[in-house]
Amino acid sequence: MLQQIVDLQAEAEEFHRLLSSLAAADWPRATLFKGWTIDDIVKHLHMGDTMGLASATDPAAFAALLADIQARRATGLSRVEETRQRLGDLAGASLRAQWRTTLAELCTALAARPADARLPWSGPDMGVRMFATARQMEIWSHAQAIYDLLGLERPPPSPRLRNIAEIGVRTFGWAYRVRGLDVPPAAPRVTLTTPFGETWEWNLESTAGAVTGAAIDFCQVVTQTRNVADTALRVTGEGARHWMSIAQCFAGPPETPPAPGLRRRGVSPAADDSCR
């Protein structure tokens, strides 16, 4: 089994432990992520996995599901409203169980595909490795809103966080293209430290500025779960500063990072339309 699929399974198990700790009254609580409730977040992840399972096993079924979602969205429904309608009363512990089952089926389906297989998606198609990493990134980033809501410190990062850092670095150009901006000729140097003694480095020869600091801080910025001002990252050079102000490692339309001071543990929950 590809390491990226193993890492996705581990990320899912950590998230499942978090969800298992919730009281029934926690699920309808609004988070700082666009005012989405915990139910909304898990429904969103479940729908992503459902689409991923269709993509990996039945491309025709995936195309039909995507077309139906897009048709409903075209009527004016937001992403969260469309998902709420589609999944109906599925919520709380029942939702958690269904999400976990579908995620396990997705991992099995991904493991059965050749390592170089390409999977259709709502944006450009993706290889199996990148697809597994993208699903891990979705779980990891959306979990942060729940940790923040509950005032909990999330578990220390593990080596699998490198997958998210890697996708954050590799989407440097995407952050510009999705906004209709010219992609700078060179990406900044990135040097990240970890609590388990490893140092991760990219673009070592670059003279286009640098981003230095803790790996978890970098991953929070590129997933837009934190504003760079709320991290201890050291960002030098205009090019690096601009990248960190628009970094976006996920697909979809351009999104504005959360305002400084908003997405962090201990902030009172309130709807926020500026963050992912």
Mean pLDDT score, 180-184: 96
Q: Is the per-residue pLDDT at 214 higher than 80?
A: yes
Mean pLDDT score, 228-241: 96
What average pLDDT does the structure give for the chain? 93
- 267 pLDDT band, cuts 50/70/90, is low
Q: Which of 4-18, 163-177, 246-260 has the lowest mean pLDDT?
A: 246-260
Q: Tell me, what amino acid is at 49?
A: D
Question: How do residues 45-74 score in pLDDT, each as one tens digit?
Answer: 999 999 999 999 999 999 999 999 999 999
| Fold of the domain built from segment(s) 3-150 | Four Helix Bundle (Hemerythrin (Met), subunit A) (1.20.120)
pLDDT of residue 276: 39
- CB within 8 Å of 276: residues ≥ 6 apart: 33, 34, 141, 223, 224, 225, 248, 250, 255, 257
Same fold, 3-150 and 161-246: no
Helix spans in the chain (H): 3-20, 38-57, 59-74, 79-87, 92-112, 128-150, 161-170, 172-177, 215-222, 238-246
Domain definitions of the chain by residue range: 3-150, 161-246
pLDDT of residue 262: 82
Mean pLDDT score, 18-42: 96
Pairing relationship of beta strands 189-193 and 234-236 according to DSSP bridges: unpaired
| Fold of the domain built from segment(s) 161-246 | Nonspecific Lipid-transfer Protein; Chain A (3.30.1050)
Mean pLDDT score, 202-209: 95
